Amino acid sequence: MCSAIAVNAPVGVMDSGVGGLTVLKHLTRQLAHEHFIYYADSAYAPYGNQSAIKIQQRCFAIADLLIEQGAKALVVACNTATAAAISPLRDHYALPIIGMEPAVKPAAAASKTGIIGVLATTGTLQSAQFAALLEHYGHGVQVVTQACVGLVECIEQGQLDHAHTLSLLKTYCQPLIDAGADTIVLGCTHYPFVRAHIQHIVGPQVTLIDTGAAVAKRLQQILAEKNLLNPASDQVSNQAGYLSTADAQHASTSVKPLFLTSGSQQTQRVMQQLWQIL
């Protein structure tokens, strides 16, 4: 089936909102000749406090739309969506599907104190996928988890430097500091947008880890294995389209150079603002 897919077809990237832009940035750096369609399900964000069934329904709806636009692969650029929906998505669709997972393994390897912290959504921390990660890679280390309720909403609004956002970050980081964590996993794709604030709170001695770069390398590997890499001769740089449910369910389906924005002006403004931070 993969042989029938055009190598210059886009890669679909989906997230509950703008958080997956942190992954898209890595994708465009690692795969400079690929096309991307980014879908922000902002009207339904955050996913972290929704049921697995609801998240699966949204993921299937978005996957169908991206595949209709010719996507040759999908990246589920959301830890919560990956935990809830990656298995049924892979069972249902034949194309390559890449997911996210909190970087427990590299964090455990990097820690010198043997204490690692994980900042994530409630949905991610309560998932079977996260439990499996701890079972496989959590031996020999103490893992301190912290659900960051309300943080995604602040980032979705572009309130990165807002007093409330900073207060939440201090509240959520403090238990990890108190526990002696020297390595902290950013277990949600939204969190790298406030990475500088987190680093300031926890101090320079603490290492922060996210998985965007690893996902980009994994996508490149799978596309190469499937003979789906877009040849370097095709274009000089990426193209990416941006679609959002923040304003309308049926967004424009054109793919134009970074970025085609479909959604409310507020969503467009926030998206452009966050992209510049990366």
pTM as predicted: 0.86
CA atoms within 13 A on the CB side of 194: 35
What's the pLDDT at 243? 72
Q: Is 33 annotated as a binding residue?
A: no
pLDDT digits (tens, 9 = 90+) for 74-128: 999 999 999 999 999 999 999 999 999 999 999 999 999 999 999 999 999 999 9
Q: For residue 188, indicate whether it is catalytic.
A: yes
Query: Terminal CA-to-CA distance of the chain, rounded, Å?
Result: 36
Domains 2-100+213-277 and 104-210 share a fold: yes
Q: For residue 59, indicate whether it is catalytic.
A: no
Which position among 78, 148, 154, 173 bears the catalytic label?
78
Instruction: Report the topology of domain 2-100+213-277.
Output: Rossmann fold (3.40.50)
Q: Is 165 annotated as a binding residue?
A: no
What's the pLDDT at 185? 98
What's the pLDDT at 259? 37
Which CATH architecture best describes the domain 104-210?
3-Layer(aba) Sandwich (3.40)
Residues of the chain scoring pLDDT < 50: 1-3, 236, 248-263
Q: Is 48 annotated as a binding residue?
A: yes
pLDDT digits (tens, 9 = 90+) for 224-238: 999 999 987 655 455
User: Domain ranges in the chain?
Assistant: 2-100+213-277, 104-210
What's the pLDDT at 201? 98
Q: Is 15 annotated as a binding residue?
A: yes
Q: Is 80 annotated as a binding residue?
A: yes
Which position among 59, 148, 173, 188 bears the catalytic label?
188
